[in-house]
Each structure stands twice: as C-alpha cells, then as structure tokens.
Amino acid sequence: MTPIKECLINKSTKINPVWLMRQAGRYLPEFKKIRKANPDFIKLCLDHILAEEITLQPIKRFGFDAAIIFSDILMIPHGMGQTVEFKKNFGPSLGALELNKLASVSKKDLTEKLSPVYQLLSNLKNSNDLKNKDLIGFVGAPWTLLVYMVNKISPKNGLSQEFFKDEVIINEILGLLDKFIKIHIENQINAGATIIQIFDSWAGLIQNDFDKFLYNPTLSLVNHVKNLGVPVICFPRGITDYIKFAKIVKPSMINIDYNVDPENLIKSLDLPVQGGLDPKILLSDKENLRKQIKRYLNIFKDHPYVFNLGHGILPETEVEMVYELVETVRNYK
C-alpha cells in the first residue's frame, strides 16, 4: 500500500507522506523552459507527452509520495465548449456563456475533447517513477467552476454585481457541472488515477446558501468517487468551518488552508488531514521553514496526516527550499 493510502485508508500515524499542490510547474526551471516554448496553457495541458514530462519533473527531483497530473480545473468549462484562455500577468479569461451550447454537449463530446488528459493518466499509471506512489487526478468543485464560468475572470477582486441575478441560469449550470465533473472524475479513474482531489478554490466567497453551493454539490461528487472505489480529498479553501464541512461531506481526507488553526481543528476532527503550511514560508529562510514544518508535524503526530501546503506552491519559490522541506519531513521523528 502506498504511504498516502496508509494514512487515508489505514489511518496510520507512523509515516509522514509528502507532496505539494502545484508541485508540477511554475517554480521549476525545467518547467519554465517548456512553458516558454509553449505559450498556450490549455494546449500545453492537452499535450499528453509534454504533460507527462511535467508531471514527473517534481517526482524525479524530490521523490514526492504522489504525482498530481499537470492539468487545470478549467478543463471542464473548456470541455463543455466555453472558451478558456490564460492571459499573461492576468490569469484565466472565459468567453460568453451559451447555455444551449453547453446543454447540448454529450458525454462522448467531453470525453473526446479531454482525451489527452486520460491518455496522460494511462501513460503514467505504469511509470517506473511512480512505483509505490499515488497518481492524483483532480477536478474543480461546482461552486468554483460556476464562479469562473459566470464571472469570466478570477474573482480575486470579488464577484461581479450581477453574479446571482439569474437563479435559473445558476441552477442550470450547477446541474450541468454535476454531470460533467462526474464524467471527468470517472474517466480519470478509469485511466489510472488512484486518488481524486476536489479543489474548491473560491469556497471562501460563499456567504450564504452553503447547502446549495458548497455542501450538497461537493457531497454529490464525494459519494460518486467513493462509489468508484477510490479515496477522495477535498480542499474547500477559505471556509470558516472545516469541522462542519467534514461532518456533512465526509471526504476520505480534508486539505486545510493556512488560515486554519490546526491545534483547534484536531480537537474535533476524526478525518485524516492534509496540508496547512503557508506557501509564503518557503520564501523565508531554512530555519523558519524547518520550524514551521515541525509545528504541523508535532500537532498531527498522533493523527493521520499528509504533509502539504495550504495552497499551491508560489512561482518565486527556490528549488533549494523544496529540497529542505522534503528532507525535514522525511527526517522527522
């Protein structure tokens, strides 16, 4: 059994598996070289040969306990026919919402459009570099994908005032997302994913209707993954009540963000935990990094815990600091 599954399934507290969100990508010099030659991000994600190389880069360097595929949560809107592009120094930009067009997309259409993602997983599942390691597939949660599809851009400066104006459209999109995310999950598992992670990157923006936007849609996906016999990790970034989320949604493991007090959390949480470290700590010095890593490992010493960050690794992170992180986790006793 892999180290992460020892935590997830057997609830082992004797090992400290480690991997990092966004470990494949923007901080690695070998990735930057590929990215420079491939400016279209969506095309790069759908080039299964390059995506395989990128997915394995951090495994070859650091020996993480899992590979997470080089892809993006916005593959779903792309697969549904909404235009998705990534603009330099801006981020994602999505095109007009044509509901009739989205509603006419079939399972076959989505599967064919995203087939390079499944080819990537199929290529990786027997890789010698991934012996006794997990292969993580992932999706965006319905709320976060709804935000991008309706808002058209990152909501880091808040949602547009008209976001909630048409409840019928919101409900229709949520229904379509439930359908297509489940197809994407199933396709990834069939192709070789051994764990699925659900990223709700903008869950912290939900102010009310938590059942409608957070709990019910995520629970629907979690149950789907469990029925397919694969563990599922949820990362509802920015929410204030991880305990309530865990009790309602019941994922196999919950990933916490860096605003969560882990000491308080552990008193009431019986699920395995992943993550928590602020990625900015990797921009400080080695002594501080070691101190903060040991803080998390000490808190979760008697709790099933996978070491990870409280958000994706930052582009300006020095490779040397990642080596330090891995060594500190591996040598912890």
pLDDT one-digit tens code per residue, 262-317: 999 999 999 999 999 999 999 999 999 999 999 999 999 999 999 999 999 999 99
Q: Note the pLDDT tens digit of each residue in 160-187.
A: 777 888 899 999 999 999 999 999 999 9
Name 310's Cβ contacts closer than 8 Å, sequence gap at least 6: 256, 257, 258, 259, 260, 275, 276, 277, 278, 279
Q: Report the CATH number at residue 314.
A: 3.20.20.210
Closest CA to 15 of 25, 6, 24: 6
Please report the pLDDT score of residue 322 as a whole number. Answer: 98
78 phi/psi in degrees, rounded to 5: -60, -45
- Give me the amino acid identity at 128: N
User: What are the tokens at 33?
Assistant: 């070289």
pLDDT average, residue stretch 144-164: 90
Q: Note the pLDDT tens digit of each residue in 88-138.
A: 878 899 999 999 999 999 999 999 999 999 999 999 999 999 999 999 999
Structural domain span for residue 233: 3-331
Confidence of residue 221 (pLDDT cuts 50, 70, 90): very high
Please report the pLDDT score of residue 158 as a whole number. Answer: 85
Please report the pLDDT score of residue 163 as a whole number. Answer: 85
| Separation between Cα atoms, residue 95 and residue 77, nearest integer Å | 10
Residue 12 CA neighbour count, 13 Å, CB half:
14
Q: Note the pLDDT tens digit of each residue in 6-32.
A: 999 999 999 999 999 999 999 999 999
- Give me the amino acid identity at 159: L
How many domains, in total, are found in the chain?
Answer: 1
Provide the whole-model pTM: 0.97
Name 108's Cβ contacts closer than 8 Å, sequence gap at least 6: none
